[in-house]
Amino acid sequence: DTEVTQTPKHLVMGMTNKKSLKCEQHMGHRAMYWYKQKAKKPPELMFVYSYEKLSINESVPSRFSPECPNSSLLNLHLHALQPEDSALYLCASSQATGGINHEQFFGPGTRLTVL
Amino acid sequence: AQSVSQHNHHVILSEAASLELGCNYSYGGTVNLFWYVQYPGQHLQLLLKYFSGDPLVKGIKGFEAEFIKSKFSFNLRKPSVQWSDTAEYFCAVNARYGNNRLAFGKGNQVVVIP
């Protein structure tokens, strides 16, 4: 199984809502990533988890809160978002973060719209 | 930190034409190189990758890329494109011995006219 799955596929939320995005992989990977992608732009790294610990936070606003409950799951909790946060949120995983030759496998993304 | 440049953001060509997309990176150390493709409405898929060895890399769907270390380049090529190659193409780089942070180029939007 070389697949990263993400739910939901689409999410519409108001600025006062609280929602969560979920990501799952069963490849035994120990690194997982959240990216944000605006239309026609490259993905922008948000967070990296390595062995279930947060290793990189790219100065993301606190209204985005990541969580890694176990090595297969990655969540992104959303609260009090702004319309400009509307984007495609991508999850990725790789064998590890350090060392060599680790490609990242991307999920299909969650298309988020904030009203 | 690594950075990646992709030129000619919009490329329009006819079926059966040849495609070449340029990718240049800046980083002083050893790198891993990737080309990802994103078809309309779909997720990022890996086209090909270079870690070491033969600098000419063959990927899926007839794509290939050549790593030229002296030019810090990893250009993508396909001899004869099809309408189904219409997509956004991203070059990405990470440091071989780093934290696996991928640096993406701005992408090339390729439109193939039937």
CA atoms within 13 A on the CB side of B78: 25
Residue B65 pLDDT greater than 80, yes or no: yes
Q: Count of alpha carbons within 13 Å of A30, Cβ hemisphere only?
A: 9
Residue B16: partners with Cβ closer than 8 Å, 6 or more residues away: B80, B81
Report the CATH number at residue B87.
2.60.40.10
Q: Which residue has the tokens 């790789």?
A: A94
Sort out which chain B residues have CB atoms less than 8 A from A55's CB and list them: 99
**Residue B103: HSE in the Cβ half-sphere, 13 Å Cα cutoff:** 19
Q: Mean pLDDT throughout B98-104?
A: 83
Q: Which of B43, B101, B102 sits opposite A109 (nearest CB)?
A: B43
User: For residue range B3-52, what is the model confidence (pLDDT) as tens digits?
Assistant: 899 987 899 999 999 999 999 999 878 889 999 999 988 889 999 999 98
CA distance A14 to chain B (A): 24
Residue span of the structural domain in which B9 resides: 3-113
- The proportion of chain B whose per-residue pLDDT surpasses 90, expressed as a percent, equals 77
How far from the centroid of its chain's Cα atoms is residue A75's Cα?
7
How much is the pLDDT for B74? 97
Number of domains in chain B: 1
A100 inside 8 A of chain B by CB: yes
Instruction: Name the CA radius of gyration of chain A, rounded.
Output: 13
Tell me the one-letter amino acid at A88.
Answer: L
C-alpha A29/C-alpha A115 separation (Å) is: 35
Distance of CA A41 to the CA centre of its chain: 17
CB atoms within 10 A of CB A113: 13
